[in-house]
Amino acid sequence: MIRVIIIGSGNVGIHLARVFLNTREIKLVQVYNRTLEPLKKIEGKVSTTTNLNELKDADIYIISVSDNSIENISKSLNFTAKLVVHTSGSTHLNTLNSSNRKGVFYPLQTFSKNKELSFKGIPICIESENNNDLMLLKSLASLISNNVYILDSKQRFNMHISAVFVNNFVNNLYYIGNEICEKNNIPVEILHPLIKETAEKVQTLAPKDAQTGPARRKDTATIESQLKQLTEHHAAIYKILTDSIIKTYS
């Protein structure tokens, strides 16, 4: 039985709490958050606290807070020599306070509090300072996921940059596409099959081979006519991406 405490109940923390509570080999000892409201989602299922000085004993303490808060939270812990990990994709292992053993437990996925996810297919990236802690993190990750990767801080940082491109930026483009549809009284669901096919295609084809569209064809007439229809902000984004595609295939 691996005993775990989660520090923070944002999107990642709440999802981890849910999957740990439903995994027999994991004992979720406690969940901390600085305010009570987010803890109501798991109230009655696990011990909760808003006081870092009240944290109980555990094998692993998982800090799941904003990147800017990780260092301060780790410095505020009133114990030493415990395994303390964070869930950030872009924060170096050494950001954690050296009074405890350091590690990373990073689930690579987009999390929304009200969207249920199966962890079995979610990649979990782990890192630690010593092999014993690495094996403990691997055991914990393997209990909830079939995809566990050992990455150092540099690899994880660059992987997170890749994730920003394929998830965060792409989602903003979805928003722009939806906005254009709504302004022109077009049902946004008309885009859904295209979105699905694009996502599925790059799992079997290299993205470079999967590229289509006017920029790939160097269809300058279409590109110019579409630019004229866009707002200044959207046109700037359109042009940057078009230039990138043209350069890729030049």
Q: All domains of the chain, ordered by start, with CATH?
A: 2-151 (3.40.50.720), 156-248 (1.10.1040.20)
Model confidence pLDDT, tens digit, residues 92-109: 999 999 999 999 999 999
Determine the average pLDDT of the residues in 12-32.
Answer: 94
6 touches 62 (CB < 8 A) = yes
Whole-number Cα distances in Å, 4 to 7, 71, 109, 137, 169: 10, 20, 21, 11, 33
Q: Which residues pair with 31 in a beta bridge?
A: 6, 48
3-state secondary structure 44-112: CCEEEECCHHHCCCCCEEEECCCHHHHHHHHHHCCCCCCEEEECCCCCCHHHCCCCCEEEEEEECCCCC
Chain segment 189-212, per-residue pLDDT in tens: 999 999 999 999 999 999 999 999
Residue 224 and residue 231: Cα distance in Å, rounded?
A: 13
Predicted confidence (pLDDT) at residue 149 exceeds the cutoff of 90:
yes
User: Where does the chain show beta strands of DSSP type E?
Assistant: 2-7, 26-32, 47-49, 60-63, 83-86, 101-107, 124-128, 148-150
Angle, nearest 10°, between helix axes 170-183 and 232-248?
A: 130
Supply the DSSP symbol for 43.
B
Among 33-37, 62-66, 77-81, the least confident range: 33-37
Return the bridge partners of 6, or none. Answer: 31, 62
Q: To the nearest 5 percent, what fractions of the chain are helix, strand and coil?
A: 50, 15, 30
Tokens for 43, please give them. Answer: 């109230």
- Give the tokens for residue 116: 């249920």
Q: Whole-prediction pTM value?
A: 0.87
